[in-house]
Structure 1
Amino acid sequence: MEIESLAAFDNHLRSHQGSLAGCRLQAVDLMERGWELRTADVTDSVFLGCALTESVAADLRQRGAMVFPCAPNLPFDPYRKTLYTADELYDGIAQKPYEQTPDALAYAWDSGPRDREDVLGIVLRGLHDDSITDALGEFLEGRRTVAVLGGHAVARDSSGYEAAIHLGRTLTRAGFTVATGGGPGAMEAANLGAYLAPFHDGAVDEAAAALGSARDFTPDATAWARAAFEVRAAFPPQRAGASLSVPTWFYGHEPPNAFATAIAKFFSNAAREDRLLARASAGLIFLPGAAGTVQEIFQAATPAYYTPVGSAPRRLILVGINHWTNTLPAWPLLRALAYSRPMATTIHLVDTAAEAGILLTRVH
């Protein structure tokens, strides 16, 4: 049983005769519940970053509970209960450079000059990523999610960026939740398309024009991020279409895009890749990319390859015939793997992002 609020704590005690046995309490302020905690059964209970008096915490440990203390000196909360928002990660971006935002400070902590095998660091990263995994599952419950994968180097003023915007908008308007790797380039464009889905059709051109002043994040991440927040100001987040991004501080030199309405940011890239690909319940679309996108294609293809006869794997759609057959010939290998297996009917190669959107919306 997970308990993530004071109301849930009180309700659980009432309905379980004062017992917290087996519960996992996460980031709950329990400073005013000392008596209830001292009298409760705490067998196999775990307190993750809960606010407790020192005496109550000591009593809980003595009676067998595990108590993980708050970590106030970190640039992130290892026990957070929800996914991030762009406003949280970019807090203060209008007044200070990107390097001073919470997102950049978390990356600096993760890549700082200390032993990477430090036990405390490993535990804190693990607690954080487990909390994000839990929040991600809650966010995606009941959603038809399509992962849109592609390269981070796609410039904002390119045709590929525009195509990804229209793809994200098409999928969102069709009732899907777009999920991306959360970075710049094609990932940002797909999240932007989802973001703009409820707005008038001219919003795409207006947003693209505003972003053109900072076409790439590499020369100036601050200007790149501020341009995105200017677009958000013109098209308020309260009306925006929902989408997800799943970035990682492993690639912390790539700032997360500001157009996803929910951001599941991980320290572990392996965990991030696994969660993103596994949760794409309605299919995966691979726009032209490089090594990271190739990795994602075959990471997604592996469970499809082993899908038993009689079951239907998710659809995998590669966009860009020349790119995936000549530049980076992933398609011939994917097709060879699929031969005579159930996945053979659910892998596709199309030439444009628009075709991918039409294909996926028709089969669903």
Structure 2
Amino acid sequence: MITRVDIERGITLPADLPYDPFRTSLYSCEELMRGWSPGDDHSATLDGQIYDRVSERATDEHELLAQRVHDFAIDRAVARLVARKPAVVGIMGSSTTQPTEAAYTRVAHLARLLSRAGFLVASGGGLGIMEAANLGAFLAPHPESELDAAIDELASAPPFDQQDRSAQAAYLKVAVAIRERYLSGGENLAIPTWVYSGEPISQFASQIAKYFANSIREDGLLTISFAGIVFAEGRAGTTQEIFQDAAKKADTDRGGERSPMAFLGKDSYTSTGLYAELEAQSKLWGPYPHGLFDEPADVVDYLMAHQPRRLIDRVASAEPERVRELVKARASRTARR
């Protein structure tokens, strides 16, 4: 067990770490894909090697300390990005949505429109809706027809399967080919975690803030989405994120600006009763700016009309520590609830 005396005397972190705890930048897809060749599955990548290391040393205190230092470094790198591009829109939704589904296409087109409107699109960096968000933003500089063609290509590939290495290899071959064809793509952000085994690297994220601690990753994505959050069709995890975000807004100081919430998929959110429940909470503890839509263009119009301008102006060009203070304040108010 690491004690206070150990800390005062100085602790040496493991020398053979496959990651740099003191890194000063976010990850790129190319860095995390290091070691991969066509035909390989995810385990061949640097990302896969880091995950294996996490699994093997789950109780090693020196390893855990190195991971905490790493996540702090990622926090600072995210703060620098957000200071430069404060109009962040987070997109949440199911990780199981396939490129063959209408919900995937709808989110990809939404992300493209948001990016072209000047927003920085951010996702959880996984599959499904998250992949669609990064894909749409990545292809934002290109014609809409190119995005549709890329979706068709992904739909023709085998779904990524954590238990099937051949399916992983086939999926990666298609996704990597699309990414390389459109480099350098539009700027966007993915915020994944090494908690989930075998989750592929987001091929369409221009910058990746990958964490070891899933709780930091989940709350962080909600908190930096100053310009709003879009909730696409999802499941239990998305439901949690909806009301976690609502709790942040409920505790915003009187007179403070609340970032808008946009729900994409009227049938989904009316049939589950989630939108009605949010409206009820908004009347009790809000109001929260929120809207329900089917069309991506309507979501963009809504978000642009409900921007928390003063908040975004405070974040813009701020020093990283000031950005972290603003993010921490938004998070800590929720914790006090």
TM-score by length of 1: 0.76
1:335 and 2:279 are equivalent in the alignment: yes
Amino acid paired to 2:65: V
For 2:205, which of 237, 255, 260 is the aligned residue?
260
Structure 2 CA distance for partners of 1:110 and 1:255, relative to 1, 3 Å = same
For 1:323, which of 253, 268, 272 is the aligned residue?
268
What are the superposed Cα offsets for residues 85-109 of structure 1, whole Å, 9 maximum, x if unpaired? 1111112322432111111111111
What are the superposed Cα offsets for residues 131-190 of structure 1, whole Å, 9 maximum, x if unpaired? 111111111113210001111111112211111110110000000000000001111111
Match of residue 84 from structure 1:
27
Amino acid paired to 1:74: L
Measure, in 1, the Cα distance between the counterparts of 2:296 and 2:239.
17
For 1:271, which of 208, 216, 226 is the aligned residue?
216
- 1:210, 1:230 within 8 Å by CA — same for their partners in 2? no
Please state how far the C-alpha of 1:209 moved relative to its aligned partner: 2.7
Measure, in 1, the Cα distance between the counterparts of 2:116 and 2:144.
12
Between the aligned residues of both structures, percent identity stands at 34
Match of residue 103 from structure 1:
47
What are the superposed Cα offsets for residues 213-244 of structure 1, whole Å, 9 maximum, x if unpaired? 3252124222222211101222122xx11000
- 2:25, 2:74 within 8 Å by CA — same for their partners in 1? yes
1:147 and 2:94 are equivalent in the alignment: no
Match of residue 158 from structure 1:
101
Match of residue 282 from structure 1:
227
Match of residue 244 from structure 2:
299
Please state how far the C-alpha of 1:130 moved relative to its aligned partner: 0.8
1:74-223 aligned within 5 A = 74-95=17-38, 96-112=40-56, 114=57, 116-143=58-85, 144-218=87-161, 219=164, 220-223=167-170
- 2:120, 2:187 within 8 Å by CA — same for their partners in 1? yes
What are the superposed Cα offsets for residues 285-311 of structure 1, whole Å, 9 maximum, x if unpaired? 000011111111111111101123322
- 1:313, 1:342 within 8 Å by CA — same for their partners in 2? no
Secondary structure of the corresponding residue to residue 141 of structure 1: helix
- 1:163, 1:354 within 8 Å by CA — same for their partners in 2? no
Q: RMSD of aligned C-alpha atoms?
A: 2.1
- 2:252, 2:258 within 8 Å by CA — same for their partners in 1? yes
- 1:312, 1:342 within 8 Å by CA — same for their partners in 2? no
Measure, in 2, the Cα distance between the counterparts of 1:251 and 1:106.
12
Please state how far the C-alpha of 1:320 moved relative to its aligned partner: 1.8
Structure 2 CA distance for partners of 1:68 and 1:88, relative to 1, 3 Å = farther
Q: Which has the higher helix share?
A: 2
- 1:152, 1:187 within 8 Å by CA — same for their partners in 2? yes
Structure 2 CA distance for partners of 1:160 and 1:309, relative to 1, 3 Å = same
Structure 2 CA distance for partners of 1:68 and 1:135, relative to 1, 3 Å = farther
Match of residue 325 from structure 2:
none
- 2:122, 2:191 within 8 Å by CA — same for their partners in 1? yes
1:18-29 aligned within 5 A = none
Secondary structure of the corresponding residue to residue 91 of structure 2: strand
- 1:147, 1:283 within 8 Å by CA — same for their partners in 2? yes
Amino acid paired to 1:100: A
Please state how far the C-alpha of 1:312 moved relative to its aligned partner: 2.3
Structure 1: 5+ residue stretches without partners: 1-63
The total of aligned residue pairs comes to: 295
Match of residue 176 from structure 2:
229
Measure, in 2, the Cα distance between the counterparts of 1:68 and 1:193.
44
- Greater RCO (Cα-Cα under 8 Å, separation 6 or more): 2
Measure, in 1, the Cα distance between the counterparts of 2:158 and 2:278.
33
Greater shift in the superposed pair: 77-86 or 67-76: 67-76
Secondary structure of the corresponding residue to residue 111 of structure 1: helix
Match of residue 313 from structure 1:
258
Greater shift in the superposed pair: 263-272 or 135-144: 135-144
Please state how far the C-alpha of 1:70 moved relative to its aligned partner: 6.5
Measure, in 1, the Cα distance between the counterparts of 2:268 and 2:139.
28
For 1:358, which of 294, 297, 301 is the aligned residue?
301
- 2:260, 2:306 within 8 Å by CA — same for their partners in 1? no
Match of residue 248 from structure 1:
193
- 1:184, 1:256 within 8 Å by CA — same for their partners in 2? no
Measure, in 1, the Cα distance between the counterparts of 2:117 and 2:169.
34
